[in-house]
Amino acid sequence: MSQKTILIAGHEVESVLMSALIKHYSRQGYDVLFGECCEPQSIAKEIEDLISGNRSLSAFLYISPPPRQGKMLDDDADVINATMNDCLERGLWWIQAVSKKMIAQGTGGRIVTLAHIAALVPTERFSYGAASQLALMNLCRSAIQELAPYNIKINTIFRGFSHTHPLEHEFVEQLKVLHKDDGIPLLEYTSPEDIASTCYLLTDPQINSFNGAMITMDSGFYVTRKIRYLSEI
């Protein structure tokens, strides 16, 4: 039986990303389990059912849903309300239950929240529907001192745009046309394989220094969208 177990939970998880995560973690000797509960009273029981016998929970990955389109002035309050329920509340419930399980085990563990770059970088279409992901990161950062004595580390990845997500692909291709003459910002897609490798890095039990970290996997979009070159005089 494997000595390492990762539990993955989330909402609207893409099959291509999930396949990459399963492949990568399985290759590293992990058992990969999946949580599906959406209600706080059911999550702890599901964790106990999944992590049974001599198995212990080594790592947890919470995958936030792809950001939804919406704007402040378009009466899209339902978008932000939905994401607060789908992402912030559910993510917090899962992280609380997982933390308590890891403390009970006495073995420590690693927790990663996988967010989207639109939660961090203001964009025309998606950031309004991704605000919950940034809020979840801040809640997790608030807990690092509380959980550090138990050797539980929490980190966040902000992944870039997906080539396989139709709305994200359409948005990026339009930006490429808009910025074709200046080449700024850098607009590249993030592969599921890169995401899986980085998740593994942050859940590696041998690495202790990652705690409260924010890693952007956007090929430089976060930085270069703020850069504009001056014309030569």
How confident is the model at residue 1, as a pLDDT?
42
- Reported as a single tens digit per residue, the pLDDT across 175-225 is 999 988 887 899 999 999 999 999 999 999 999 999 999 999 999 999 998
Supply the mean pLDDT for the chain: 89
Average of per-residue pLDDT across 116-135? 89
Dist CA 108 CA 105 (whole Å)? 7
- Read off the pLDDT band of 75 (50, 70, 90): low
Average of per-residue pLDDT across 99-103? 96
Question: And the tokens for 78?
Answer: 């339902």
pLDDT at 110 over 70: yes
Coil, strand or helix at 209: coil
pLDDT at 170 over 60: yes
CB 222 within 8 A of CB 121: yes
Q: Where are the alpha helices (DSSP H) in the chain?
A: 15-27, 40-50, 77-83, 90-105, 131-142, 144-147, 166-178, 192-203, 221-224
pLDDT at 49 over 80: yes
Is beta strand 30-35 parallel, antiparallel or unpaired with respect to 4-10? parallel
Q: How many CB atoms lie within 10 A of CB 117?
A: 26
Q: How many CB atoms lie within 10 A of CB 17?
A: 22
How confident is the model at residue 2, as a pLDDT?
46
Q: How many CB atoms lie within 10 A of CB 215?
A: 16
CATH number of 4-162+190-220: 3.40.50.720
